[in-house]
Amino acid sequence: MSQHPRRVAVRVCVSMLLTAGIALSAQQLPSEPQRQFGTGITGAFEGWFDSPAGQRLFLIGYLNRNVAQEVDVPIGANNRIEPGGPDMGQPTHFLPGRQWGVFVIPVPQGFTTADQRFTWTIVANGQTTTIPLRLHPDYTVTPFSDVAVKNTPPLVRLEQNGTALQGPVARIEMAPTRTTSVSSPLSLPVWMTDDARYASGTMAVPRKLPPPVQLTWSKYRGPGGVAFDAVSPPVQTIAGGGVNVEFRGTATTTARFSEPGDYVLHLLVNDFSGEGGAGEVCCWTNALVKVIVTR
């Protein structure tokens, strides 16, 4: 993704301001180092946007400072969004490190920029953090198109001829449901299409490019462990593969569940722009899959 100095600088400044606010509310220094395990998790307010469907949404990720510890925090007093919660579709399973734009919350009609806000509170390893979510005009993002080359997020289908998903707008209530058992691995095929637009700070294309799309599966919610045959399965090219040439591909992995219950799986599909859109907050697609696991 193109690195536009002015825009990146604005994003960095906004991020620093948000981090400072988060740290103050959590009584936690923004420069607190990451650790192997035993430290906290902080929500990350990426910004807000108007979706192509005309819905205004908050875009939210998180930072798990435990570089070697995946953390489960059930919905409730230790993982709550208020008002209206505690459950507003947030994850209960947190991967290590920075996870960009993992979920969205619809902004209620009549929500104002002055003083209305949601707050997301996470208590992990004895540390409490709280972040605000509000319609500040400086926090608008454009996750469906970047300014450099008009790159757009990949189109993702969970069935070959199913409905296409695009952008970070997935919500649990809209997710398809699959059924499996503890003894039966669940196949998870994905079909993807992308415009394969590429930009860099110099606009030069490197000799060795990553694949036009890369995907990552993870547990989002659930009572037990989830083991994927490949967290990031290789993508098989159907058509395209070059810069600015429409790419079509497919990839499949399987998931195994350690115990019965209701799960939600998260799929992240990045294009050439990479994680978090390289600071542009564009262009990736999220998908969620609900799984009912029987014994």
44's tokens: 């990350």
Q: Rounded to two decimals, what is the model's pTM? A: 0.87
- Give the C-alpha separation, 60 to 98, whole Å: 11
Q: E strands, 126-213, where?
A: 127-133, 155-157, 165-166, 177-181, 186-194
Q: Considering the chain, what is the average pLDDT of its residues?
A: 87
| Total residue length of the chain | 295
Question: Is residue 218 pLDDT above 60, yes or no?
Answer: yes
- Give the C-alpha separation, 91 to 62, whole Å: 10
**pLDDT at residue 2, rounded to an integer:** 38
Rounded mean pLDDT, 234-240: 95
- Give the C-alpha separation, 272 to 200, whole Å: 10
DSSP class of residue 14? H
Rounded mean pLDDT, 194-216: 83
Cis peptide preceding 86, ω within 30 of 0: yes
- Give the C-alpha separation, 58 to 22, whole Å: 16
Burial 77-89 (b: 16+ CB within 10 A, else e): eebbbeeebbebb
**pLDDT at residue 67, rounded to an integer:** 87
Q: Identify how many contiguous H helices and E strands the chain contains and give both numbers.
A: 1, 18
Neighbours of 65 (CB within 10 A): 24
| Closest alpha carbon to 172 in 216, 137, 134, 220 | 220
**CATH class of the domain comprising 155-294:** mainly beta
**pLDDT at residue 209, rounded to an integer:** 80
DSSP class of residue 258? S
Q: What is the pLDDT of residues 64-113, one digit of tens each?
A: 999 889 999 999 999 999 999 999 999 999 999 999 999 999 999 888 77
The neighbouring-strand residues paired with 247 are 194
**pLDDT at residue 295, rounded to an integer:** 93
**pLDDT at residue 25, rounded to an integer:** 32
| 31-40, 147-156, 240-249: the lowest-pLDDT one | 31-40
Rounded mean pLDDT, 145-163: 93
23's tokens: 């740290």
Domain parsing of the chain, residue ranges: 5-139, 155-294
**pLDDT at residue 4, rounded to an integer:** 39
**pLDDT at residue 203, rounded to an integer:** 63
Rounded mean pLDDT, 56-71: 94
264's tokens: 């939600």
| 24-33, 51-60, 75-84, 233-242: the lowest-pLDDT one | 24-33
Rounded mean pLDDT, 37-63: 93
**pLDDT at residue 149, rounded to an integer:** 87
Question: Is residue 19 pLDDT above 60, yes or no?
Answer: no
